[in-house]
Amino acid sequence: MRLFEATGIMSRRLSMAMLFVLSLVLALAPRTAVVEAVVVDGLQVGYYNLSCPEAEQVVRDVVDAEVAMNRSIAPGLIRIFFHDCFITGCDASILLDETPAGDVPEKESSANGFTLVGLRTIDVAKTTLEAMCPRTVSCSDILAFAARDAAVAAGLPSYEVGGGRRDGVHSRMDDLPGNFPVPGHTVPRLTELFASRGLSQEDLVTLSGAHSIGGAHCFMFSNRIYGFSKTSEVDPSLDPAFAERLRKLCPRPKPDDNPQESRKVPFDERTSEKLDNVYYQELLEKRSLLTSDNTLALDPKTRPIVERYAKDDALFQKKFGEAMQKVSALDVLLRPDQGQIRRDCHVVNKARGQHFPIIRWPRPPRHPMQQMLNWFIRGFQQD
């Protein structure tokens, strides 16, 4: 689609007029053939074939257009999807700006906040689909489809994603600490957290392969290149030449630094925009950014999986699609009494006459550098 590529001036912003035009173009496009849905673990592949036949294609077109303009959208969407599903299930709770209970939402956690990339892509898809099929396609399904399409845009073979999720009405920032993997975790803690969500150690290694694309802010791995221990300034498990390059790219963080100005470094220097097995090859060469990545190559239980993927790109890509399918079914809400189809992904639908308090959370600097370091290295707890 060249709809979003009309001028170089647009950058990453689309006007409401452009969204309206997109809605009209897609709404007037030829209808696809109707195919009966297949039930998979409570979800249905082809769930919208009757109610909104173009739903998945619309999401795919939006993702492809956005990724074409900004390659960081692909890893960003996969990350948003994983962060959403891992806490309370795939219910689009990470998209909420406010909740009926007045809780500080997940989005405001220092694990999310400004590090979430791709939120606007979901908004574009939702706005388009609401114009075509009002109150039909859930935000949680859009997010699941978008994560798949982002992976495909980055080179992964396509895989099926069932639909039928409903959107949650709760979102709590306080649900994250202690329940979510962070860059400072090692294999035992990561394995424990993944097992609590019904995911295996193989799933852990496989899903970590999402770090084949995208990157990490310097503060997320500064503990490995500055003041690592009492006996070593730099993590000795890092390739020395690689560590030296990182120190040149990333100055020592200061408590009063603005985290949002922290430089972002690619996870995989060789193929940073392709979802492939080079990530695992780099792990074996001791060139990883995060402790949580490096530990996969060091731990004897996970290293054999890393070695298999490093040798077989097709195997990794197959397993990654399967693991993403597993994640997409985590604690999904299927019944009307469990969730809703939000009209706006940022807010819960309100019944007539119902009013929620409008809460505007403070914007940057939202989390001081020391707090960001605390979260990303330890997850607000010592493990």
Residues designated catalytic: 83
Nearest CA to 149 out of 88, 58, 85, 84 is that of 58
CB 287 within 8 A of CB 294: no
Q: Which amino acid is at 318?
A: K
Q: Which structure tokens are listed for 130?
A: 């609401």
For residue 166, the SS3 value is: strand
The rounded Cα 308 to chain-centroid distance in angstroms is 25
CB 178 within 8 A of CB 380: yes
What's the angle, vertex CA 237, arms to CA 236 and CA 238, rounded to 5?
Answer: 90
CB 375 within 8 A of CB 111: yes
CA distance 73 to 67: 5
Distances (CA, A) of 259 to 14, 61, 226, 369, 370: 27, 33, 17, 5, 9
For residue 255, the SS3 value is: coil
Angle of the 291-298 helix axis to the 187-196 helix axis, nearest 10: 100
CA distance 121 to 27: 18
Max alpha carbon distance in the chain (Å)? 67
CA distance 304 to 206: 12
CA distance 318 to 321: 5
CA distance 83 to 193: 13
CB 323 within 8 A of CB 161: no
CA distance 377 to 366: 18
The residues pairing with 216 across neighbouring beta strands, listed in sequence order, are 265
